[in-house]
Amino acid sequence: MDHQELRRRFCDADGVLSGPAARAGDVFTLAETIRDTERRQAEGIRAGVPLRGQVQFDTHLAQRRQTPSPTFRDHLRAVGGAIEE
């Protein structure tokens, strides 16, 4: 990336996203996706559903016993629990 390129930063109370100004719309969309996932998970926790259950961690462990190559990040993507990308 050209060091002279303009960059945009988006932040909230617990994170910062940065990207090329020309892709600010994409960065903003990603920030909204992360925010929505975090809120959904927090609402589940407040409702008494542990995060471990929300992300189907036991399923991940069972799948890893069958095929050890998928990572937890792969699993989170598959179940809609990934935050950082």
The domain spans of the chain are 1-49, 50-85
Rounded Cα distance, 28 and 9, in Å: 9
Q: How confident is the model at residue 13 (pLDDT cuts 50, 70, 90)?
A: confident
Rounded Cα distance, 9 and 31, in Å: 10
Helix, coil or strand: residue 50: coil
Rounded Cα distance, 29 and 66, in Å: 35
- pLDDT tens digit string along 36-81? 999 999 999 999 999 999 999 999 999 999 998 989 999 999 998 8
Any idea what DSSP says for residue 68?
S
Rounded Cα distance, 27 and 17, in Å: 7
